Amino acid sequence: MIFRILQIAIPFIWFGAVAAISFMEAPLKFTAPNIDLPLGLGIGHVVFHALNKVEIGLCLAGLVTFIIAKPKTKTAVSIFGAIALILLLQTFWLFPILDERTMKVISGDAEPFSNLHIVYIVFDSLKIVLLFSLGVILLRQNLKED
């Protein structure tokens, strides 16, 4: 029973974390007094790496719940797989490139705009839609069982 509850809770918790950081904290920090681009990027670097570690933990916890309390639909498994793939791409492909660019911008050696930031935003947007959908699917599935 606890694994079914966690299976439902994890996507919604993960959704909230990504939505709050990516779509609230990230843009709002640049509106604070005395926050210039290098300082904002430095803060973002720390915050997004912390979020990434939390996301990896939530993904692993979600995987454990899927192994122990197998979802009834392949749709839930497919959506979880897509979310995990996005997280892997962000962690091992985008983050290293964006980290290098961030350090160049902070040191004054690069232009501040990069299309890869747009890719990251698209990935996070897709991820929160998938996380919310997964949570709803798992909730409905478990309500039908009762």
In this predicted structure, the answer to whether residue 37 has a pLDDT above a threshold of 90 is no
d(Cα 120, Cα 140) in Å, to the nearest integer? 30
Domains of the chain, by residue range, sit at: 2-145
6 Cβ contact partners less than 8 Å away, ≥ 6 residues apart: 61, 65
What local confidence, expressed as pLDDT, does residue 145 receive? 62
Q: Which residues of 95-125 are buried (b: 16+ CB within 10 A; e: fewer)?
A: beebeebbeebbeeeeeeebeeeebbeebbe
Q: What is the pLDDT of residues 71-93, one digit of tens each?
A: 989 999 999 999 999 999 999 99
The mean predicted confidence, pLDDT, of the chain is 93
| pLDDT category of residue 146 using cuts at 50, 70 and 90 | low
Percent of the chain exceeding pLDDT 70 equals: 97
Which of 18-22, 39-43, 53-57 is the least confident region?
A: 39-43
Tokens at 114, concatenated: 């990069």
d(Cα 12, Cα 39) in Å, to the nearest integer? 31
